[in-house]
Amino acid sequence: MSSKKFNKGRFGKCFLATMMVALVFSFINSPGYCEEEMKIGSLIPMSGDLAAYGKCVQQGVNLAAKHINEAGGPLNMKLKVVFRDSQTDPTALRDSAEKLVNVDKVPAIVGPMIRSDVATPVTAPNHVVIISPSNTPTWVTTLKDDDYTFRTTSSDAIQGKVLGKLAWERNYKTASILYINDPYGGGLAESCKEWFEKSRGKILGQASYDPGKASYKMQLKELAKGNPDVLILIGYPESGTVIIRQALSEGLFSQFLFPDGMQSQQIIDSVGGNYLEGMYGTGPGAAENPSYKSYLKEFNKVYGANPATAYSENAYDGVVVIALAIQAAGKDALKTDPGKAIRDKLRVVANPPGEKIIASVDGFRKAFRLLAEGKDIDYEGAAGSIDFDEHGDTMTPILVWKIEKRKIVPVRSVIPD
Amino acid sequence: MISYFVSFLIMGSIYAMAALALNLQWGFTGLMNFGIGAFYMLGAYTSAILTCPATTEHLGGFGLPLVVGFAGAALVPGVVAFLIGFPALRLRGGTFAIALLAIHETLLLTVRNESWLTNGVWGIRGIPRPFFEVINPRHYGYFYLIIAGGLLILAYLAITKSVGSPWGRILRGISEDEDLTSMSGKNCWSYKMQSFVFGSMVMGIAGATYVHYTGFVSPQVFNPLMSTFYVWLIVMVGGTGNNKGVIVGAFLVWAIWVGSDFLTDFVPAAVATRIGFIRMLFVGIILTVTILTRPQGILSRKRLIADWYR
């Protein structure tokens, strides 16, 4: 009867021990108040499906903190970024947001990459600003956030508009849309459809797909009914390649149009041959922008390569505008309600009017000086002009690219109106 | 700081509820339920849809009080479990587990794709949180902890009382030797069904507690790792067949799961990027150590019937 050994005392002890472990964990990094340090948070996926993106975005964030500190730091304080892992999972994302808000007590967060709507109920009531580098869905615009939610990337509505209009410009009269079944794919498909139809085009079919399947012939056959001129394929390279191959081999489609998710050399190489010559696509792009050039140069200097994925420059801009807003707010405002102070100054430092600031150490030094003198500035980011509208959205330029000699070549940069 | 600890306790309580339910099904009845996430999800979505204000994005606009939401969150998973039980309970052990896993996947795909009902992959936002307008949002966690903790205590009492009753003895008999129990003249199928439905209802309530806390739900929350296997991990570590052990396990595993993130602050930057994977390693180590040193879990079960015959 070994069971007799176990009794009520054990439970109490074990429970207490667990609670102690948890308490120690949460107290362990009690923020020692330091006059010379300004903490901000970063909530990005460092594990899970988006880990590859998270790693690159983290590089962008670190680069921005380095530049800001080399320029003297906001209010002569050292900018420190606390990273928390969102694990690409809503439950973990929410918990990490709680950590940043309640344990690290940061006034502003760069992130999350996706699902701002999960973080907002935690951050907005606690007056914490969140600036997402990459959360593109259209509904972010209308979140109930007390104006604490921003993003440094365009809404999918913008890219959809460019994509839809591009389809018409390319002389396609009819089209079918196949999109990946996630918030990105669905949102982009809707706005692309809207603008293609506004340009008098006709959508003959629309279907979603789940990634990782062996065959997409069923969807493709359905979409090919009525012989549309083009297949607008919204997805990512892995399954996208399979879809293109099957569409070609079955003779269902020969013309394609791609958004940013498919802007990858991988699709050209895996499909092979010259099947994709002359196809067009859209993507985020600040082709001819001095800030972006300076950013790329610095990124290469520090990490020895170009950014491996998109959105690192958007995260960079997020950190920079927070730092500039801290400088603009001043010490007194930061003491009472730092989150609110930063929120109120974000538009001041990022939007016109004011002296234009380029993304570089010298630029930031100048910005800090001008702000200290009480002058207005307008930050021109690496990802675009970064002008926040009343919803906290920005317009970043959209690149139109084409496939030429088996390479992706930029055609032009569209600044949406 | 304390606010974070409160949010930790709330999430721990929610997982503890689901783990208690699994403990009833697996620990006491021997039903290898690999479809916890399905019932958790049904509860979450039912309550969300019933209580949400009108919207064009998904079925809703009932705006019913939260109590109705919670009642629905118990009822719908219960009914679904009852219907699934007819074919599934003919299976035993591993095959039952695989059937339930398939059902989880089926329901998850339904939720992902039936946008008119659930808003598909976008999920449901703006789910009402009880008395959110009345309470200072910065202290809302304390209030919700009372709800979550209260429900956990209720679930604990209900399950402990039932397994201590003659009804529970039959369940344990089934888990330890189904044929023997059958031969004693008990209708095992019926008892298994009751345990299955009861457990699923508790899982549904855990789901409702989750959505009214976060104010948000999407299919991603219910991926098999975080909704099903995570709960299994809790039960394995805490102690299969021991309700208190399972509660300890829930808080302990959640502490390790989210606490490992704080390690980032103490390690060099180069290692910090890999901390996410170290967390997985930790969890693996805990499971391995538990199985090697205490296969019965932190707190062990009481094998009443088998010991009786010894």
Q: Is A92 on the interface with B (CB under 8 A)?
A: yes
Query: Of A237 and B12, which is predicted with more confidence?
Result: B12
Query: Of B199 and A12, which is predicted with more confidence?
Result: B199
**What is the reported pLDDT for B134?**
84
Task: Enumerate the residues of chain A whose CB falls inside 8 A of the CB of residue B133.
Answer: none
Q: Is residue A20 part of a domain?
A: no
Give the phi and the psi of residue A323 in degrees, each rounded to 5: -60, -45
Q: Is the pLDDT of residue A230 over 50?
A: yes
Sequence length of chain A is: 417
Q: Is A12 on the interface with B (CB under 8 A)?
A: no
How many angstroms away from the CA of B206 is the closest CA of chain A?
14
Q: Give the C-alpha separation, A389 to A262, whole Å.
A: 28
Residue A219 and residue A136 in one domain: no
Task: Report pLDDT digits (tens) over B208-231.
Answer: 999 999 989 999 899 888 899 999
Residue A91 and residue A143 in one domain: yes
Q: Is residue A24 part of a domain?
A: no
Measure CB to CB from residue B221 to each of A48, A91, A137 and give the nearest one: A91
DSSP assignment of A100-122 equals IIIIS--SEEE--SS-HHHHHHH
Q: How far is CA A344 from CA A6, A64, A322, in A?
A: 59, 21, 11
Residue A327 and residue A402 in one domain: no
Instruction: Report, as an integer, the average pLDDT of A16-24.
Output: 66
Helix (H, G, I), strand (E, B) or coil at A77: coil
How many angstroms away from the CA of B194 is the closest CA of chain A?
27
Report CA B301 to chain centroid distance, whole Å. 20
User: Do B4 and A91 make contact, defined as CB atoms within 8 angstroms?
Assistant: no
Task: Report pLDDT digits (tens) over A188-208.
Answer: 998 999 999 999 999 999 999
User: Do A15 and B247 make contact, defined as CB atoms within 8 angstroms?
Assistant: yes
Q: Is the pLDDT of residue A111 over 90?
A: no
Query: Of B275 and A317, which is predicted with more confidence?
Result: A317
**What is the reported pLDDT for A27?**
53
**CATH number of the structural domain spanning residue A198:** 3.40.50.2300
Q: Is the pLDDT of residue A1 over 70?
A: no
Count the domains in chain A: 2
Residue A112 and residue A192 in one domain: no
Q: Is residue A131 part of a domain?
A: yes
**Strand ranges inside A247-361, DSSP E:** 256-258, 280-284, 355-358
Instruction: Report, as an integer, the average pLDDT of A365-392.
Output: 90
Measure CB to CB from residue B5 to each of A22, A47, A85 and give the nearest one: A22
Q: Give the C-alpha separation, A344 to A148, whole Å.
A: 9
User: Do A90 and B248 make contact, defined as CB atoms within 8 angstroms?
Assistant: no
Residue A212 and residue A261 in one domain: yes
User: Do A126 and B137 make contact, defined as CB atoms within 8 angstroms?
Assistant: yes
Highest mean pLDDT among A75-79, B160-164, B175-179, B198-202: B198-202
Query: Of A376 and B260, which is predicted with more confidence?
Result: A376
Confidence class of residue B269 from pLDDT cuts 50, 70 and 90? Answer: low
Nearest by Cα to B218 from A50, A115, A137, A47? A115
Residue A310 and residue A365 in one domain: yes
Task: Enumerate the residues of chain A whose CB falls inside 8 A of the CB of residue B259.
Answer: 21-22, 25-26
Query: Of A321 and B263, which is predicted with more confidence?
Result: A321
Q: Are strands A149-151 and A129-132 parallel, antiparallel or unpaired?
A: parallel
* Closest residue, chain B, to A117 (C-alpha): B125
DSSP assignment of B57-69 equals SSS------HHHH
Cβ atoms of residues B151 and B159 within 8 Å = no
Question: Which of A5-19, A369-383, B19-33 bottoms out in mean pLDDT, i.e. has the lowest?
Answer: A5-19
Residue A276 and residue A203 in one domain: yes
**Strand ranges inside A308-392, DSSP E:** 355-358, 377-380
Q: Is the pLDDT of residue A338 over 70?
A: yes
Percentage of residues in chain A having pLDDT higher than 70: 91
Q: Is the pLDDT of residue A25 over 70?
A: no
Measure CB to CB from residue A121 to each of B8, B216, B244 and give the nearest one: B216
Cβ atoms of residues B51 and B215 within 8 Å = no
Highest mean pLDDT among A209-218, B96-105, B279-288: B96-105
Query: Of A408 and B75, which is predicted with more confidence?
Result: B75
- Residue B298, Cβ neighbours under 10 Å: how many? 21
User: Do B121 and A82 make contact, defined as CB atoms within 8 angstroms?
Assistant: no
Confidence class of residue B302 from pLDDT cuts 50, 70 and 90? Answer: low
Q: Is A14 on the interface with B (CB under 8 A)?
A: yes
Confidence class of residue A4 from pLDDT cuts 50, 70 and 90? Answer: very low
Q: Is the pLDDT of residue A228 over 60?
A: yes
Q: Is residue A93 part of a domain?
A: yes
Instruction: Report, as an integer, the average pLDDT of A76-98.
Output: 90
User: Do A29 and B262 make contact, defined as CB atoms within 8 angstroms?
Assistant: yes
**What is the reported pLDDT for B217?**
92
Measure CB to CB from residue A183 to each of B2, B121, B126 and give the nearest one: B121
End-to-end CA gap in chain A? 79
> Which tokens in the block code for residue B246?
């399972």
Residue A281 and residue A402 in one domain: yes
Q: Where are the domains of chain B?
A: 2-223
The CB-based long-range contact list for A10-19 (8 Å cut-off, 24+ gap) reads A10/B299, A11/B244, A11/B245, A11/B248, A11/B299, A14/B244, A14/B245, A14/B248, A14/B298, A14/B299, A15/B244, A15/B247, A15/B248, A15/B251, A18/B248, A18/B251, A18/B252, A18/B255, A19/B251
Residue-averaged pLDDT of chain A = 86
Question: Which of A55-64, A246-255, A260-269 bottoms out in mean pLDDT, i.e. has the lowest?
Answer: A260-269
Task: Report pLDDT digits (tens) over A130-140.
Answer: 999 988 888 88
The β-bridge partners of A234 are A179
Tokens 């039959």 -> residue: B170
Confidence class of residue B72 from pLDDT cuts 50, 70 and 90? Answer: very high
Residue A212 and residue A187 in one domain: yes
Measure CB to CB from residue A91 to each of B140, B226, B245 and give the nearest one: B226
**What is the reported pLDDT for B113?**
87
- Tell me the count of A-B CB pairs closer than 8 A: 151
Measure CB to CB from residue B4 to each of A26, A121, A143 and give the nearest one: A26
Give the phi and the psi of residue B215 in degrees, each rounded to 5: 70, 15
How many angstroms away from the CA of B261 is the closest CA of chain A?
7
**What is the reported pLDDT for A22?**
63
Q: Is the pLDDT of residue A232 over 90?
A: yes
Q: Is A33 on the interface with B (CB under 8 A)?
A: no
Q: Is the pLDDT of residue A32 over 60?
A: no
Highest mean pLDDT among A48-52, B122-126, B193-197: B193-197
Task: Enumerate the residues of chain B whose CB falls inside 8 A of the CB of residue A95.
Answer: 7-8, 11, 258
Instruction: Report, as an integer, the average pLDDT of A229-245.
Output: 90
Q: Are strands A407-414 and A398-404 parallel, antiparallel or unpaired?
A: antiparallel
- Residue A307, Cβ neighbours under 10 Å: how many? 19
Task: Report pLDDT digits (tens) over B113-166.
Answer: 888 888 888 889 888 888 888 888 778 889 999 999 999 999 999 999 999 999
Task: Report pLDDT digits (tens) over B7-54.
Answer: 999 999 999 999 999 999 999 999 999 999 999 999 999 999 999 988
Q: Is residue A25 part of a domain?
A: no
Q: Is residue A359 part of a domain?
A: yes
End-to-end CA gap in chain B? 51
Cβ atoms of residues B41 and B108 within 8 Å = yes
Q: Give the C-alpha separation, A193 to A201, whole Å.
A: 9
**Domain boundaries, position A344:** 37-155+290-380
**What is the reported pLDDT for B268?**
72
In A200-229, the residues whose Cβ lies within 8 Å of chain B are: 208
Confidence class of residue B304 from pLDDT cuts 50, 70 and 90? Answer: low
The residue among B118, B133, B273, B307 with the most chain A CBs within 10 A of its CB, best to mutate, is B273
Q: Is A317 left (phi over 0), alpha (psi -120 to 50) or beta?
A: alpha
Note if the bond before B53 is cis, omega within 30 degrees.
no
Q: How far is CA B25 from CA A82, B168, B180, B268, in A?
A: 42, 11, 19, 44
Q: Give the C-alpha separation, A87 to A65, whole Å.
A: 23
Q: Give the C-alpha separation, A50 to A204, whole Å.
A: 33
Residue A296 and residue A281 in one domain: no
User: Do A99 and B275 make contact, defined as CB atoms within 8 angstroms?
Assistant: no
Residue A139 and residue A190 in one domain: no
User: Do A182 and B121 make contact, defined as CB atoms within 8 angstroms?
Assistant: yes
**What is the reported pLDDT for A31?**
46
Query: Of B61 and A24, which is predicted with more confidence?
Result: B61
Residue A337 and residue A223 in one domain: no
Q: Give the C-alpha separation, A163 to B57, whole Å.
A: 24
